[in-house]
Chains A and B, each alone.
Chain A
Amino acid sequence: MDYLETEKERRVTQLRKGILELAIMGSLYSEHHYGYSLVRVLMGDGSLSLSEGTVYPILTRLDKEGLVRSEWVESDQGPPRKYYSLTANGRKLFESLMPEFDQLVTLVKQSRNGAKSRQNQHLGERILVKKEERA
């Protein structure tokens, strides 16, 4: 069980990290956020459970690539906040990536359904063989 759990944990983390960039772009598509508010949107309900610090390197990279813009804004309480929003290029890229992502999800679902139907077919064959043996 240890082995299974560890492997599952590792792969789930990899999957989450893989889609984090897309999720960040999606969150910044229609509204701007500062780091902490973005983290709350992405991880608030626990669906994308990762270390909160993982978003900052991605934001920095997107910023350097010109896909997001950022600006420091003074806050009434506490230190200034760095706000991020998607640039026109970022929006275009996100719009072109979404269909690709949907296709990937569909592909995974279809392959699982395919596997299930094959499994059922094998089960059916086994039952048939047993019935024949009894007969």
Chain B
Amino acid sequence: MSHYPEVVEKIVQDYLQRVGIQLKRFPNSDQEEMLKELGSHIYESYSAESDQDPVGRILEVLRKLGEPADVVAEKLQDSLLNVGTLKKVPLYVVGGVVVGMFGLPLGFAGVAMLLGGLGAMLGLVVAFFATASLLLITGVAGMGLGLLRMLNPELWDQLVAQGFIQVHGRIGQLFDLLSPATQGALLVFLFMAIAAAGLGMLWLSKRMLKGLRFVFDLMLDRAKTLLRRRRHHAFAWRTRPSSTLVNEVPPDEKPLSGLASYSTIR
């Protein structure tokens, strides 16, 4: 049974539908409970509104209730943090914190951009560490082979005969001209350089992480400032009296002389 005039009913259903879309990731029972409760709230609030115009009344009710995305964002943040704490999955906790910190000021598109940036940076870091580790392992293994060539040439020859070690092409021909000890020393020297490169990369990783964090913080700070300003201007635009000119500064918004420096850092 409908409690509203037809047009109001349509507006309410549209709002609840939008909330329902935002609630998709929650269990059905939670969705139904939340929608039922919001429906009850809307009715109570609508009945208490004094505006004679039904459409004006319901729009005022929904404005006070908040945007569906914002209402659900609160729930999403709680839910993710709860799930993370209960299941001890740090990813959920991080997700909850990310939504809480950035979802509300940036919107979900902002969160997606942020996560995309994080993913790209994570990929870079993983690739860097994988390369460093590979160089280090190759270097150590090669140095072992060099030592083997120097200290136990018979075993080396056996391994070559069995195909475990293969040296082809010009490098192979060049190697054959050298004595086993020289070959071993050359291998140790060469692979030591490779291992040193791996170690150097690991040593540099600390600085790289610092650099990436700086770049990320900078990007984030820029994005947050930009979006906050946009939202503030949008809010000011909606709430400004229609008679106010664009460049007109209301008397109470004129900058104070002591705060002039703020204009330079905005």
B96 CB to closest chain A CB (Å) equals 12
Chain B contact-residue range equals: 35 or more
Of B74-82, B203-211, B215-223, the one touching chain A: B74-82
Q: Which of A28-51 contact B (CB under 8 A)?
A: 34-37, 39-40, 51
In the complex, A5→B232 CA distance in Å?
A: 9
B230 CB to closest chain A CB (Å) equals 11
Instruction: Determine whether the beta carbon of A53 is less than 8 Å from that of B65.
Output: yes
In the complex, A9→B70 CA distance in Å?
A: 16
In the complex, A75→B3 CA distance in Å?
A: 13
Chain A contact-residue range equals: 20 to 34
Of A79-87, A96-104, A108-116, A122-130, the one touching chain B: A79-87
B38 CB to closest chain A CB (Å) equals 7
Instruction: Determine whether the beta carbon of B262 is less than 8 Å from that of A1.
Output: yes
The residues of B that contact A81 with a CB separation of less than 8 Å are 40, 44
Query: Are A6 and B232 also in contact (CB < 8 A) when A53-B38, A77-B47 are?
Result: yes
Closest to B4 in A: A78
A84 CB to closest chain B CB (Å) equals 10
Cβ contacts B61-72/A at 8 Å (1 or 0 each)? 000111100110
B43 lies within 8 A of chain A by Cβ: yes
B263 CB to closest chain A CB (Å) equals 9
B100 CB to closest chain A CB (Å) equals 10
The residues of A that contact B74 with a CB separation of less than 8 Å are 53-54, 57-58
A104 CB to closest chain B CB (Å) equals 21
Instruction: Determine whether the beta carbon of A2 is less than 8 Å from that of B232.
Output: yes
B186 lies within 8 A of chain A by Cβ: no
B41 lies within 8 A of chain A by Cβ: yes
The residues of A that contact B255 with a CB separation of less than 8 Å are 1
Instruction: Determine whether the beta carbon of B37 is less than 8 Å from that of A35.
Output: yes
Instruction: Determine whether the beta carbon of A61 is less than 8 Å from that of B78.
Output: yes
Instruction: Determine whether the beta carbon of A51 is less than 8 Å from that of B70.
Output: yes
A51 CB to closest chain B CB (Å) equals 3
Instruction: Determine whether the beta carbon of B75 is less than 8 Å from that of A57.
Output: yes
Instruction: Determine whether the beta carbon of B40 is less than 8 Å from that of A35.
Output: yes
Instruction: Determine whether the beta carbon of B259 is less than 8 Å from that of A1.
Output: yes
Q: Which of A52-92 contact B (CB under 8 A)?
A: 52-54, 56-58, 60-61, 64, 75, 77-82
The residues of B that contact A79 with a CB separation of less than 8 Å are 3, 36, 39-40, 43
Instruction: Determine whether the beta carbon of A6 is less than 8 Å from that of B229.
Output: yes
The residues of A that contact B47 with a CB separation of less than 8 Å are 77-78
The residues of B that contact A10 with a CB separation of less than 8 Å are 105, 228
A57 CB to closest chain B CB (Å) equals 4
Instruction: Determine whether the beta carbon of A35 is less than 8 Å from that of B71.
Output: no
Instruction: Determine whether the beta carbon of A78 is less than 8 Å from that of B66.
Output: no
In the complex, A52→B66 CA distance in Å?
A: 7
Query: Are A51 and B40 also in contact (CB < 8 A) when A1-B259, A2-B266, A61-B78 are?
Result: no
In the complex, A4→B232 CA distance in Å?
A: 11
Query: Are A56 and B39 also in contact (CB < 8 A) when A1-B259, A6-B229, A36-B44 are?
Result: no
A49 CB to closest chain B CB (Å) equals 10
In the complex, A65→B19 CA distance in Å?
A: 24
A40-B48, A58-B74, A60-B34 are known contacts; what are 5 more A-B pairs with Cβ within 8 Å?
A3-B262, A3-B265, A34-B44, A36-B45, A51-B71
Using a CB–CB cutoff of 8 Å, the interface residues on chain A facing chain B are: 1-6, 9-10, 34-37, 39-40, 51-54, 56-58, 60-61, 64, 75, 77-82
Using a CB–CB cutoff of 8 Å, the interface residues on chain B facing chain A are: 3, 30, 33-34, 36-41, 43-45, 47-48, 64-67, 70-71, 74-75, 77-78, 82, 105, 228-229, 232, 253, 255, 259, 262, 265-266
